[in-house]
Structure 1
Amino acid sequence: MTELGQLLRPDLRGRTAYGAPQLDVPVALNTNESSYAVPGPVIEAIMARVAEVAGSLNRYPDREFTRLRTDLAQYLTQTTGVPTAPDQVWAGNGSNEVLQHIVQAFGGPDRVALGFTPSYSMHPIISEVAGTTWVDGLRSQHQQGAAPGFDIDAELAVAQAQQHRPNVVFLCSPNNPTGTALELSVVEAVYDAAPEAIIVVDEAYAEFARPGTPSALTLLAGRPRLVVTRTMSKAFAFAGTRLGYLSADPALIDLLRLVRMPYHLSSVTQAVACAALENRESLLAMVEAIKHERDRLVDGCARLGLTPVPSDANFVLLGGFADAARSWQALLDRGVLVRDVGIPNHLRITAGTPQETDAVLAALESVLAAEDREEIA
């Protein structure tokens, strides 16, 4: 009898599924979730909205999620100053599904997706699972981050776009896992250098950016191949809801309808997301608290002799570990779960509550002291 593995698509054989550890530990700071619970009044608003749609769950949801798109457009207009209409907005079950729609529509066999490593690990996974050839581009001539802040070298990015002639290009700002934001000139340069490509700027962490950090939403007008993706998982403390969205030219969004599954956003998901958007002031108030803890992490880790990368996200990438995997385990042994993102000598830590910041700094101090004692011994 043929083994199931042999029936799997050849390009998927030997792969491992994406997944970060979900462990029961006192301090979990590995997946960039919000450590702050959804406030009680928002929970009440969610329950009221769900109750409104509960009686009609025997019917399919609004396929065009009209109310949600209207609310998302109003949110983007209000918070970014970029006038956004509902027909410029698309949404899915998490930003990963939105990214998947883009690749399904514009990638595929005999097509190329280009990204700049290190960046969000799902970009190549989504591309390759859709049969798209992935090109692991360089952010700089010094691939291991010798360039300050892991910035993207615009000239090098342009050269790679011209060389590979991609159909989809992924840019990430603020970038995951480095936390660094892009200059808009980089987006403009890549857009012009790849005239046959959809240019995706992944802004999942945009609400956490420091003052003055630009958004690619300001570049959308007159650029029909530009897409800006966002999510409610981070700033809205809504990781469990799974609601991602994008803004783009209405003509591009119309093409995404060709690949979405019928009625892909449930009535409950739409109701919950609309309730959150109506109560966004109380949810986004937590963003400032998280940014404060992020900056405490940066300062505290620098005092410990580590090298934090300046961050515009809700996490900090730390360099300076002699053995990142060993330090990761040592932190876990002390009840602190962080993320080993595969960059030598670096670990990524989500910004959490003040108590979690205290705990992670204390654990880091203990780990580093223990490592120093071993070196002396």
Structure 2
Amino acid sequence: MTFPPLREELRGIEPYGAPQLDVPVQLNVNENPYGPSPEAAADIARAVGRAAASLNRYPDREFTELREGLAAYLNSSGGHGITPEMVWAANGSNEVMLQLLQAFGGPGRCALSFAPTYSMYPEYARDAMTEWVVGRREEDFSLDLDAARKLVLERRPTIVLLPSPNNPTGTALPPEAVSALCEAAASYEPGGLVVVDEAYGEFRRAGTPSALELLPRHRNLVVTRTMSKAFALAGARLGYLAADPAIGDAIRVVRLPYHLSAVTQATAVAALRHAPELLGRVEDLRVERDLTVAWLRDQGLEVPDSDSNFALFGRFPDRHAVWQRLLDRGVLIRETGPQGWLRVSIGTPEEMTAFRHALTDVMKEQA
């Protein structure tokens, strides 16, 4: 007998996870390098302390105060008329995505995206026993809208996953592409949701719109966000979405009881009180990103335009060798994306200087 009796399709699969190595410069998981200020940290600690006094009771399963705060924030961040009833939250945008697949995927249904894209998407589909269908992006990582629409109409997915900015490429989708795919997904039975994953939405360049602006036009549009990146709360695990209230009602059927702890809710509500301060570093990271993209291009490397807090760069005949040599110099980046490409998260100016020096040395060795 084989033990344990794992599902056959899971046998031999390595669990998801980026390397967690103790090195001086860690630029591999797109974290915000600037933590909360002492004032914000103290406010969060006080809020958690108040929550701790009633941890013998279950938390507010509707997380009412948090939804009110998130709705207000989204309306100040590209949204229009978003109400608390349109907001749902969970333990990171990962759980939000999984809940969407649990509610709207399942046997006999499929989810669709366009590669290269976030490596967890097919895992969400697998875990929800949903067929995974993947189209391809263009050579410059843009979307061929005609081909994308054709694939949606052909396969009739109940969920279309569109990260914008895309991970690992950093590229954003134009609003007309989102609208066209929403219309395509609404044209067949039972219809499909178009989920625009804006985990890095706050880092988009000036003039790049948010899909939040399209919510009033498309009932089947879902926009997801996270507090892990721009809010520097990766350790708090809080993701959320904005959509038609009926979508949140459907998710309630599959969510685990009291899925969002009182501590998580208190942390997120307190962080929202400090939104201007926490988001103040976003512009610093945008500037550092643009400097990094320009520098990488000056080295003769290919770099797609980035609206995120990272840059994809290449192409290397042996990217693993480059990754390892950077690691040997104390700089950890991510070996991800298409063959030949690497991804660097944007850190502090000092960290990016260390990255540039290390990469310069490595490229000289390979010349």
TM-score calculated relative to the size of structure 2: 0.97
Tell whether the 8 Å contact from 2:112 to 2:161 is kept in structure 1 after alignment. Answer: yes
Does residue 300 (structure 1) correspond to residue 291 (structure 2)? The answer is: no
Q: 2:77 corresponds to which letter in structure 1?
A: T
Does the residue aligned with 2:350 lie in a helix, a strand or coil?
helix
Distance in 2 (CA, whole Å) between partners of 1:251 and 1:63 is 17
Q: 2:180 corresponds to which letter in structure 1?
A: A
Does residue 312 (structure 1) correspond to residue 307 (structure 2)? The answer is: yes
Q: 2:177 corresponds to which letter in structure 1?
A: V
Match of 2:73 in 1: 75
1:214-225 equivalences under 5 Å are 214-225=209-220
The Cα offsets for residues 311-362 of structure 1, whole Å up to 9 and x where unpaired, read as: 0000000023221111111111111111111412210000000001100011
Does the residue aligned with 1:237 lie in a helix, a strand or coil?
coil
Q: Which runs of 5 or more structure 2 residues have no equivalent in the other structure?
A: none
The Cα offsets for residues 223-267 of structure 1, whole Å up to 9 and x where unpaired, read as: 221100000000001100000000000111111100000100000
Match of 2:95 in 1: 97
Q: 2:16 corresponds to which letter in structure 1?
A: Y
Does the residue aligned with 1:63 lie in a helix, a strand or coil?
coil
Q: 2:115 aligns with which of 109, 114, 117?
A: 117
Does the residue aligned with 2:240 lie in a helix, a strand or coil?
strand
Q: 1:216 corresponds to which letter in structure 2?
A: A
Tell whether the 8 Å contact from 1:208 to 1:291 is kept in structure 2 after alignment. Answer: yes
Match of 1:353 in 2: 348
1:143-222 equivalences under 5 Å are 146=139, 148=140, 150-195=141-186, 196-222=191-217
Match of 1:143 in 2: none
Distance in 1 (CA, whole Å) between partners of 2:342 and 2:159 is 29
Distance in 1 (CA, whole Å) between partners of 2:315 and 2:11 is 36
Match of 2:249 in 1: 254
Match of 2:104 in 1: 106
Distance in 2 (CA, whole Å) between partners of 1:351 and 1:172 is 19
Q: 1:162 corresponds to which letter in structure 2?
A: L
Instruction: Please say which of residues 125-134 and 214-223 is displaced more in the overlay.
Output: 214-223
1:38-57 equivalences under 5 Å are 38-57=36-55
Aligned pairs, number: 363
Q: 2:239 corresponds to which letter in structure 1?
A: G
Q: 1:340 aligns with which of 335, 342, 351?
A: 335
Does the residue aligned with 1:4 lie in a helix, a strand or coil?
coil
Tell whether the 8 Å contact from 2:169 to 2:337 is kept in structure 1 after alignment. Answer: no
* Runs ≥4 residues deviating over 2 A: none
Q: 1:81, CA displacement in angstroms?
A: 4.5
Match of 2:359 in 1: 364
Pair 1:213–1:155, CA change in 2 (3 A): same
Tell whether the 8 Å contact from 1:139 to 1:156 is kept in structure 2 after alignment. Answer: no
Instruction: Please say which of residues 190-199 and 17-26 is displaced more in the overlay.
Output: 190-199
Tell whether the 8 Å contact from 1:294 to 1:316 is kept in structure 2 after alignment. Answer: yes
Tell whether the 8 Å contact from 2:29 to 2:345 is kept in structure 1 after alignment. Answer: yes
Match of 1:27 in 2: 25
TM-score calculated relative to the size of structure 1: 0.95
Instruction: Please say which of residues 35-44 and 267-276 is displaced more in the overlay.
Output: 35-44
Distance in 2 (CA, whole Å) between partners of 1:303 and 1:199 is 37
Q: 2:102 corresponds to which letter in structure 1?
A: Q
Q: 1:54, CA displacement in angstroms?
A: 1.3
Q: 2:51 corresponds to which letter in structure 1?
A: V
Pair 1:208–1:260, CA change in 2 (3 A): same
Distance in 2 (CA, whole Å) between partners of 1:267 and 1:192 is 39
Distance in 2 (CA, whole Å) between partners of 1:182 and 1:124 is 20
Tell whether the 8 Å contact from 2:311 to 2:346 is kept in structure 1 after alignment. Answer: yes
Does the residue aligned with 2:143 lie in a helix, a strand or coil?
coil
Distance in 1 (CA, whole Å) between partners of 2:194 and 2:3 is 37
Match of 2:274 in 1: 279
RMSD of equivalent CA atoms? 1.0
Distance in 1 (CA, whole Å) between partners of 2:161 and 2:340 is 25
The Cα offsets for residues 246-300 of structure 1, whole Å up to 9 and x where unpaired, read as: 0000111111100000100000000000000001111001111111111121111
Q: 1:207, CA displacement in angstroms?
A: 0.2
The Cα offsets for residues 13-43 of structure 1, whole Å up to 9 and x where unpaired, read as: 1211101000000110000001112210000
Q: 1:82, CA displacement in angstroms?
A: 1.7
Tell whether the 8 Å contact from 1:309 to 1:319 is kept in structure 2 after alignment. Answer: no
Distance in 2 (CA, whole Å) between partners of 1:316 and 1:11 is 33
Instruction: Please say which of residues 8-17 and 279-288 is displaced more in the overlay.
Output: 8-17
Instruction: Please say which of residues 74-83 and 129-138 is displaced more in the overlay.
Output: 74-83
Percentage of identical aligned residues: 52
Distance in 1 (CA, whole Å) between partners of 2:63 and 2:319 is 44
Q: 1:108 corresponds to which letter in structure 2?
A: G
Distance in 2 (CA, whole Å) between partners of 1:37 and 1:53 is 22
Tell whether the 8 Å contact from 1:296 to 1:357 is kept in structure 2 after alignment. Answer: no
Does the residue aligned with 2:343 lie in a helix, a strand or coil?
strand
Does the residue aligned with 1:152 lie in a helix, a strand or coil?
coil
Does the residue aligned with 1:90 lie in a helix, a strand or coil?
strand
